[in-house]
Amino acid sequence: MSQDAFYLTTPIYYPNAPPHLGSAGTTMMADAMCRYRRLAGDRVWFLTGTDEHGDKIAQAAAKEGISPRAFADRMVALYVEEWRRLGITNDDFIRTTEPRHEKVVQRILQDLWDRGEIYLGEYSGQYCYGCERFYTEKEIVDGKCPDHQVPLTFIKEDNYLFRMSKYQARLIKHLEDHPDFIQPDRYRNEVLGFLREPLQDLSISRPRARLEWGIPLPFDPSHVTYVWFDALINYVSALGDPDGEKYRTFWPAIHLIGKDIVKAHGIYWPTMLWAANIPLYRGLRVHGYWSVEGRKMSKSLGNVVGAWTLAEKYGREVIRYFVLREMPFGLDADFSEEAVVGRLNADLANDLGNLVSRATTVIVNFGGGAVPAPGAAGPDEAALAAAWGRATGEVAKAMDEFAFHRALAAIWEFIGGVNRYVDTQAPWTLAKDPARAERLRTVLWTLAESLRGLGIVLDPFLPEAAGKIRAALGASAPRLADAEWGRLPAGAKVAKVSGLFPRVEVKVAEPAKSADTPAATTTSPRISLADFQKIDLRVAEVIEAEKVPKSKKLLKLTVKLGEETRTLVAGIAEHYAPEAMVGRKVVIVANLEPATLMGIESNGMVLAGSSENALGLVALDRDLPPGAKVR
């Protein structure tokens, strides 16, 4: 890979159903990342596509009485169109039914067969048609697929198997030596957790008699390969000939995926690459899952949300902003229209939209329609310049970690600072006093410089709004390198911008009033059951506890939640000694956005009751395993 090449992929989606907020969310994140890398000057290759073989598509097509190919063609067009409408800038779109892909899959299969990496065996096990894979005894929950909640089917058949097991030790070592390979850490730990159990060989084929819709094995055409052995290879097949320019420039890739397919990408794929003598990918970046108003998004619940439907209602940039800002990267997040409207009105209309409108208006009205030459900068300007430096520094750091939410939070911190600057400097008052003309020019220049910076750094996240901000200042194509404070020359014409993000009014249903309703006994406003269900309460076992240095109140706790271990900071040190906490089971809020307290990232909150001087931890009166849900 050459120095500045950046190759990013999304999962290739199953086109058995149209795109929805989940697939669109991943694709928008990938798009924001690729736009950011292009802004930074990298050579970017951005791949997405569709995974078209297998039972899922064959069954959906059979239901409609059409061929899998005709079905796939129709559905894939929906994906291509959706990404176009959402403004996705992918460089390529791969379909696993394309000859360019099938050719590479067959070449790799033949090579692995020739070198004994694949063998014919018998495979039997519990199979889920929805996931198109076998489940091990450990993974099965109550005899059902943990994902689809349906009974599994016992299948016994001839299968070709890939000798994945022989790579187990090597993969563990690789993960230990390269902590950055899979991130965030919780997913690296999840993969290491899988690798604590003996790794099985991987079944990669199906008898053609049972499934036609796959790629025939070149050494035994009575079998087809499909799903993972087919799909994962898209990431290399899309680059064409391994000796070609594109392949040599861009491989190895960074793969962006949702948490549902960590095992395939964290275990199958690196071992397949080793077997095929292809260099490993650069990194796997994993995001969490969207729920809808506290519930899993699923067809059967009828709550599948379409990104374009929302974009038509609120604007595509609003949905894009929501997805990037609302989901802490790696953790789950909840979608609701109320939350979208909240972000739109507060962050986009109020903070950003108002700033752009106020700043361009005062420059045009009091600066003669152009950026004036500034006078001497005072402490307020220096503070804003420093805030800009902090914001851009944090954006760079956050984007290295795919933490879109943190990048945006940092930019909004700056926007808040500029809004306060307009308020305190009150250019409209300065304009009334000719003796303060120089000060006015400094303030107007500072505002224009703030907008210039925002027009650059917002580009990956809000490309249209950023374009409008740049256009208002007559700025040219954005480059991250230009986002350095102080570069704005005087003299550029400025145009007023208004209504960048119009507010949306929400109608909140009035609660029915009744004359004989007893006086409320609660002290807080009531919330709906759906709102309460958004709070994920869990039993957690404290495995380590220590005082946070220099803090009277805080204890740092390491807790176990099922398989997962995490760190929390709790304000209980004045009431509980660290040693009294170890081994105790507490109840925590498990889905709070992480917060940093005294430099320690806290992932959740311990529940306790308190009165004036006393504090008591919420406890269970029977023993429950760590991770159990509290309702």
Report in angstroms how near the CB of residue 334 gets to ligand MSP at its nearest: 11
DSSP string across 322-341: HHHHHS-TTS-EEE-HHHHH
Q: Specify the residue, 182 or 483, whose C-beta has the smaller distance to ligand MSP.
A: 182
Query: Is position 311 an interface residue for ligand MSP (rule: CB under 6 A)?
Result: no
Which listed residue (51, 117, 351, 381) binds ligand MSP by CB under 6 A? 51
Best CA proximity match to 175, nearest among 50, 317, 261, 271: 271
Q: Stretches 114-122, 181-189, 252-260, 301-309: which one binds ligand MSP (CB under 6 A)?
A: 252-260
Which listed residue (6, 8, 23, 348) binds ligand MSP by CB under 6 A? 23
Q: Specify the residue, 187 or 485, whose C-beta has the smaller distance to ligand MSP.
A: 187
Query: Is position 290 an interface residue for ligand MSP (rule: CB under 6 A)?
Result: yes
Q: Write out the two tokens for 474.
A: 């007559």
Rounded to whole angstroms, the Cα distance separating 429 from 432 reads: 5
Query: Is position 469 an interface residue for ligand MSP (rule: CB under 6 A)?
Result: no
Query: Is position 47 an interface residue for ligand MSP (rule: CB under 6 A)?
Result: no
SS (H, E, C) 134-195: EECCCCCECCECCCCCCECEEEEEEEEEECHHHHHHHHHHHHHHCCCCEECHHHHHHHHHHC
Report in angstroms how near the CB of residue 336 gets to ligand MSP at its nearest: 14
Which listed residue (68, 125, 214, 258) binds ligand MSP by CB under 6 A? 258
Q: Stretches 22-30, 68-76, 207-215, 451-459: which one binds ligand MSP (CB under 6 A)?
A: 22-30
Report in angstroms how near the CB of residue 362 gets to ligand MSP at its nearest: 42
Q: Which residues of 451-480 are buried (b: 16+ CB within 10 A; e: fewer)?
A: bbbbbbbbbbbbbebbeebbebbebeebeb
Rounded to whole angstroms, the Cα distance separating 344 from 505 reads: 10
Which listed residue (6, 7, 8, 12) binds ligand MSP by CB under 6 A? 12
Query: Is position 324 an interface residue for ligand MSP (rule: CB under 6 A)?
Result: no
Query: Is position 232 an interface residue for ligand MSP (rule: CB under 6 A)?
Result: yes
Best CA proximity match to 3, nearest among 278, 250, 284: 250
Q: Specify the residue, 51 or 190, whose C-beta has the smaller distance to ligand MSP.
A: 51
The residue whose two tokens read 């030790």 is 169
Rounded to whole angstroms, the Cα distance separating 88 from 580 reads: 53
Rounded to whole angstroms, the Cα distance separating 334 from 534 reads: 8
Query: Is position 182 an interface residue for ligand MSP (rule: CB under 6 A)?
Result: no
Three-state secondary-structure class, residue 529? helix
Rounded to whole angstroms, the Cα distance separating 501 from 504 reads: 9
Size of the site for ligand MSP (CB under 6 A): 19
DSSP string across 55-68: HHHHHHHHHHTS-H
Q: Specify the residue, 272 or 371, whose C-beta has the smaller distance to ligand MSP.
A: 272
Query: Is position 335 an interface residue for ligand MSP (rule: CB under 6 A)?
Result: no
Which listed residue (297, 437, 504, 628) binds ligand MSP by CB under 6 A? 297
Q: Specify the residue, 226 or 388, whose C-beta has the smaller distance to ligand MSP.
A: 226
Q: Specify the residue, 261 or 458, whose C-beta has the smaller distance to ligand MSP.
A: 261
Which listed residue (86, 261, 403, 606) binds ligand MSP by CB under 6 A? 261
User: CB neighbours of 166 closer than 8 A, spacing ≥ 6?
Assistant: none
Report in angstroms how near the CB of residue 542 gets to ligand MSP at its nearest: 31
Which listed residue (14, 160, 226, 268) binds ligand MSP by CB under 6 A? 14
Amino acid 447 reads L
Which listed residue (129, 289, 412, 428) binds ligand MSP by CB under 6 A? 289
Query: Is position 49 an interface residue for ligand MSP (rule: CB under 6 A)?
Result: no
Report in angstroms how near the CB of residue 84 gets to ligand MSP at its nearest: 19
**571 contacts 548 by C-beta, under 8 angstroms:** no
Q: Stretches 181-189, 228-236, 432-440, 537-545: which one binds ligand MSP (CB under 6 A)?
A: 228-236
Inter-CA distances, 529 with 294, 532, 533, Å: 10, 5, 6
Rounded to whole angstroms, the Cα distance separating 202 from 219 reads: 18
Query: Which residue's beta carbon is nearest to the bound ligand MSP?
Result: 22
Q: Specify the residue, 305 or 568, whose C-beta has the smaller distance to ligand MSP.
A: 305
Query: Is position 96 an interface residue for ligand MSP (rule: CB under 6 A)?
Result: no
Report in angstroms how near the CB of residue 112 gets to ligand MSP at its nearest: 18
**205 contacts 162 by C-beta, under 8 angstroms:** no
Query: Is position 25 an interface residue for ligand MSP (rule: CB under 6 A)?
Result: yes
Q: Specify the residue, 258 or 266, whose C-beta has the smaller distance to ligand MSP.
A: 258
Best CA proximity match to 357, nearest among 495, 154, 514, 511: 495
Rounded to whole angstroms, the Cα distance separating 137 from 125 reads: 9
Query: Is position 215 an interface residue for ligand MSP (rule: CB under 6 A)?
Result: no
Report in angstroms how near the CB of residue 430 gets to ligand MSP at its nearest: 49
Report in angstroms how near the CB of residue 261 gets to ligand MSP at its nearest: 5
Query: Is position 129 an interface residue for ligand MSP (rule: CB under 6 A)?
Result: no
**489 contacts 330 by C-beta, under 8 angstroms:** no
Q: Which residues of 506-536 are buried (b: 16+ CB within 10 A; e: fewer)?
A: eeeeeeeeeeeeeeeeeeeeeeeeeeeebeb
Query: Is position 184 an interface residue for ligand MSP (rule: CB under 6 A)?
Result: no
Q: Is the peptide bond before 68 cis (omega within 30 degrees of 0)?
A: no
Query: Is position 26 an interface residue for ligand MSP (rule: CB under 6 A)?
Result: yes
Report in angstroms how near the CB of residue 617 gets to ligand MSP at its nearest: 33
**539 contacts 626 by C-beta, under 8 angstroms:** yes
- Which residues are at the interface with ligand MSP (CB under 6 A)? 11-14, 22-23, 25-26, 51, 231-232, 234, 257-258, 260-261, 289-290, 297
